[in-house]
A and B are shown apart, each in its own frame.
Chain A
């Protein structure tokens, strides 16, 4: 599946998205970001911390912090233009079509609620599934994510489960309503290395079985190489590269991407020495961004004057 196939229509479309700090509206955190995910596609979203990866995820789910503001752009999920909907309708669309696998399984489960309602509440309370059907579904899902004895885990509280188990629960919860799109926000960074591999494998497995589109947010190009078909590279709130994973490693077009690849450990070539991203590359990229910012500001001011 290739993004430029003429007949295909992407499921998630983010266009020209710019986000600023409310009290500093000339400083953009996201700079005219465009991001497209086809149905069933696995796309990596790569960038170092602070690049704005999580900001994109938060925009999709309408959970941006109050201090920031979307100044322009569009976010389309299926047929719905999210930013044009009122908040309650927007959240309904999101609940029906998308799910988030959060970063830290230790803090993403409510400590005073049992596991079962945390998997099924979307089904029973938003989508109108009966309680017994939802429980059946939860049991099946826990089976799918290879949790032994799902019956008793459903009755447990989060603190009774290990970190890996909790992430499995969260993956099960994400797939509960058969969403069209799942955003995995660095789902393995908070876990032990050994558990990381299992969780990664599980996400890939679940994605393949359910055919869900998956946006995999990570800072790790190695992970992208393993499970993604396509990849968007984010630097300083700007997409600097958007390509197939194969061609990314074979022919990276942007200097920053090239440097990033050189700085990434390769599982297939463990002996190769790593080169940190050179300062010159970062400086050049920042110049590029500054130029884009100037152009954007100029255009907005011109637009404002009109």
Chain B
């Protein structure tokens, strides 16, 4: 009963949040000065032409009417038609989303591996200079945002010592003729490893820029949590069984330490995805974020609305997923 209530409350909150997001997006864009219609027409268009277009995009109705028409369409999966690209927003957005998802997932994987390794290392050599070193690296990685890491990486690994590509998603000479937009996944499944390598060549730097701050957060939280766990009785008992310190950390302490880290990592993951907006711009990576900035610059209202809503849904979904994962990983909750 209480569980059901909790779920219902949670669902209600989520709905309110998403509705609020929709309202804000709509209102913010409607108060924007400048007439998007004017930008679509050649100079010297007649008043009739303008009125015709306004009616076509529903701009002749009242704001409240427009909002509910728009919301009704959105709920049916119709996000309207892009003004600048003149295609359905849903199609454009879904076409670009895979690129951003692949980049985010790659970044998250790097962050988890880096952060986990750092935390492990700092715990294994706790109370030595090695731990202090990890703390300093963490402190710097934490206080410098992804945008600056991206620029630093471009300079280091793109220009000074050119290892990776600094712009785009795939080399123009390669035309893989893929049937989905999940290039990385599809190239692996089709064993087109030349394409995979080319994609990674383009993705590694933006992914690294996104991953560094998150890796530092993970490392710091996990380290604190691990150090606490290392004093637990069951860890002591594992030591008496003859296991090495490294084994004790990885097998007996890690999962327990992971739980408190996980909830906070969820919020951090949304920060990472939010970061793709500017990082994609920086690396000219053809994902959703880059598209969003183009849409803002072109005042493409339907497209902006669609993208921002999609981000919001993604964020809310991630928070839900993290909650679920927490339950799965914690046997006490599962059997409670």
Contact = CB atoms under 8 A, between A and B. Distances in A.
A153 to B, nearest CB: 14
Contacts of A98: 240
Contact of A109 (B234, B239, B242): B234
B242 A96 contact: yes
A112 B240 contact: no
Interface string B223-242: 00000000011101111111
What range describes how many residues of A lie at the interface? Answer: 20 to 34
B244 A112 contact: no
Interface of B: 127, 232-234, 236-244, 247, 251-252, 255-256, 259, 329-332, 335
Contacts of A94: 240, 242
Contact of B241 (A103, A126, A160): A126
Interface in A88-110: 88, 91-92, 94-96, 98-100, 102-104, 107-110
A210 interface: no
Contacts, number: 74
A99 B332 CA distance: 28
A300 interface: no
Given A66-B127, A111-B332, A126 B239 contact: no
Contacts of B242: 91-92, 94-96, 122, 126
Given A99-B241, A122-B241, 16 more contacts: A61-B239, A62-B240, A63-B236, A92-B242, A95-B241, A95-B243, A96-B242, A99-B240, A103-B233, A110-B234, A112-B259, A113-B252, A121-B238, A121-B241, A121-B243, A157-B331
A227 to B, nearest CB: 22
Given A107-B232, A110-B256, A112-B256, A62 B239 contact: yes
B181 to A, nearest CB: 38
A99 B256 CA distance: 24
Interface string A96-140: 101110111001111111000000011001100000000000000
B300 to A, nearest CB: 49
B330 A125 contact: no
A100 B237 contact: yes
A136 to B, nearest CB: 19
Given A66-B127, A94-B242, A112 B331 contact: yes
Most B CB atoms within 10 A — which of A62, A91, A126, A160?
A91
- Most A CB contacts (10 A, CB to CB) among B232, B233, B259 go to B233
25 contacts: A91-B242, A92-B242, A94-B242, A95-B242, A100-B237, A100-B240, A102-B236, A104-B233, A107-B232, A107-B233, A108-B236, A110-B234, A110-B238, A111-B234, A111-B256, A111-B331, A111-B332, A112-B330, A113-B252, A121-B243, A126-B241, A126-B242, A157-B331, A157-B332, A157-B335
